[in-house]
Amino acid sequence: MSNMKKKKLTTTQLQYDELVNNIEPKRPILKNCIRAFLVGGIICTIGQCLQMFFITYFNFNEKTAVTPTTLVLIFVSTLLTGLGIYDHLGQWAGAGSAVPITGFANSIASAAIEHKSEGLVLGIAGNMFRLAGAIIVYGVFSAFVVATIKMTIKWLGAM
């Protein structure tokens, strides 16, 4: 595509581009942003309420309440994915449902459900971890880079 911009377009190509730009529906960017903000905010609010529930009723502290809160959010989003509800939410909310951890759980569960006919190992596990593998690798690498920068800054500050 980037090479196309450098090339001199013919008049037919320019007319086609103009036709496509006129016919293509405009995206409601503001509406999409508001939907993403609302759904992402509701998911985060539910997570905060769950965390407060674990702190209040199970005597967790803020650090230890994170794990059960995350597990409940992952379980609920996976259950809603299996029931076909989370996909509708994702279509409506866009990135608001994809960015929190529930979106990651949805993508893993969707890959598993989609390929279940291929078997447990090659179908479910293979396709589920094909997606998760890349995310985990980049997450670990990013954590390594951030930790290295932090330790370097701390080391330079101690000098």
CA distance 145 to 124: 32
Whole-model pTM?
0.69
The distance of Cα 92 from the centroid of its chain, to the nearest Å, equals 15
Token pair of 99, please? 């960015």
Mean pLDDT estimate for the chain:
87
pLDDT band at 4 (very low <50, low <70, confident <90, very high): low
What was the pLDDT predicted at 6?
65
Q: What is the per-residue pLDDT across 78-124, written as a single tens digit (0 to 9) for each?
A: 999 999 999 899 999 988 888 888 888 888 888 778 777 777 777 77
Q: What is the per-residue pLDDT across 34-92, written as a single tens digit (0 to 9) for each?
A: 999 999 999 999 999 999 999 999 999 999 999 999 999 999 999 999 999 998 999 99
Residue 5 scores a pLDDT above 60:
no
Residue 153 scores a pLDDT above 90:
yes
3-state secondary structure at position 26: coil
Token pair of 143, please? 């954590």
